[in-house]
Amino acid sequence: MKPNPRRRFLQLAPVAALAGCAAKPDEKTEDEKLPSMVGAPIRAYGERSPHDKTKRLVPDLKRPQLGSTRAPLADTEGIITPAGLHFERHHAGVPDIDPAKHSLLIHGLVDRPLAFSMAELKRLPSESRIHFIECSGNSGGEWKAPGGPDAARSCGLASCSEWTGVSLKVLLDEAGLKKEGKWLLAEGADACKMFRSLPIEKCLADCFVAYAQNGEALRPEQGFPLRLMVPGYEGNVCVKWLRQIKVVDVPYQSREETSHYTDLLPDGTARQFSFVVDAKSIITSPSGGQKMNGAGFHEIRGLAWSGRGRIDRVDVSTDGGKTWVKATLQEPRLSMAFTRFRMPWQWDGQPVEIMSRAVDESGYVQPTREELVAARGVNSQYHYNGIKSWKIESDGSVKGA
Amino acid sequence: MRRLSLILCAIALLAQGPKYKLGHAPSDADIATTDIFIAPDGKGLPPGKGTAFDAKETYSRRCARCHGTQGQGDQEGPLVGGKDSLKTAKPLKTVGSFWPYSTTLYDYIRRAMPFDNPGLLDANQTYAVTALILHWNGIIGEKDVIDATTLPKVKMPNRDGFVKDDRPGTGAKAKKKKK
- CATH (domain of A90): 3.90.420.10
Rounded to two decimals, what is the model's pTM? 0.90
Domain boundary among A271, A290, A322: A271
State ipTM: 0.89
Count of pairs with CB atoms under 8 A, one residue in A, one in B: 177
Which of B22, B35, B176 shows the shortest C-beta gap to A312?
A: B176
Q: Are residues A89 and A162 both part of a single domain?
A: yes
In whole angstroms, what separates CA A87 from the centre of its chain?
Answer: 5
Q: What are the CA-CA distances from residue A225 to residues A117, A163, A220, A234, A239 (Å)?
A: 11, 12, 7, 21, 12
The answer to the question of residue A329 being in a domain is yes
- Closest Cβ opposite residue B24 in set A107, A115, A255: A115
CB A326 within 8 A of CB A358: no
Q: Are A152 and A71 in contact (CB under 8 A)?
A: yes
Looking at the fold, whether A295 and A264 belong to one and the same domain comes out as: no
Domain that holds residue A76: 67-146+156-271
Q: Does residue B15 belong to the interface with chain A, where contact is any CB pair within 8 Å?
A: no
* Distance (Å) from the alpha carbon of A222 to chain B's nearest alpha carbon: 20
Total structural domains within chain A = 2
Our CA-based measurement puts residue A319 at a distance from the nearest CA of chain B, in whole angstroms, of 20
Distance, CA of A190 to CA of A192 (rounded, Å): 6
Cβ of residue B39 closer than 8 Å to a chain A Cβ: yes
Measured in degrees and rounded to the nearest 5, phi and psi for residue A389 equal -120, 155
Assess whether A335 and A260 both reside in one domain: no
Instruction: Tell me how far apart the alpha carbons of residues B68 and B4 are, in angstroms, rounded to a whole number.
Output: 71
Same domain, A288 and A176: no
Which of A208, A239, A271 is where one domain is finished? A271
Look at domain B46-161 and name its CATH class.
mainly alpha
Q: Which of B75, B98, B175 is the closest to A363 by Cβ?
A: B175
Q: Does any CB of chain A come closer than 8 Å to the CB of residue B18? A: yes
Q: Which of helix, strand or coil describes residue B146?
A: strand
Query: Could you tell me if A129 and A234 lie in one domain?
Result: yes
Mean of pLDDT values over A325-350: 98
Mutant choice from A193, A241, A263 vs B, greatest count of B C-beta within 10 A: A193
The tens digit of pLDDT for each residue in A7-60 reads 444 444 444 444 444 445 556 666 667 778 899 999 999 999 999 999 999 999
How many Cα atoms are found within 13 Å in the side-chain-facing hemisphere of A241? Answer: 21
Q: Do A361 and A310 meet the contact criterion of CB atoms below 8 Å apart?
A: yes
A141 with A211, same domain? yes
Q: Touching check for A271 and chain B: CB below 8 Å?
A: yes
Percent of chain A residues topping a pLDDT of 70: 92
- A204/B contact by beta carbon, under 8 A: no
**Does B153 lie at the interface with A, CB-CB under 8 angstroms?**
no
Whether residues A327 and A226 fall in one domain: no
Q: Are residues A255 and A306 in the same domain?
A: no
For chain B, what are the domain ranges? 46-161
Q: What is the pLDDT of residues A374-386, one digit of tens each?
A: 999 999 999 999 9
Residue at which a domain ends, from A271, A297, A315: A271
For A147-173, what is the mean pLDDT?
97
State the burial class of residue B160 (Cβ atoms within 10 Å of its Cβ: 0-12, 13-18, 19+). Answer: exposed
Q: Do A148 and A217 meet the contact criterion of CB atoms below 8 Å apart?
A: no
Same domain? A189 vs A295: no
Residues A199 and A120 grouped into a single domain: yes
Closest CA to B156 of B79, B102, B80, B87: B102
Residues of A whose CB is below 8 A from B173: 363-365
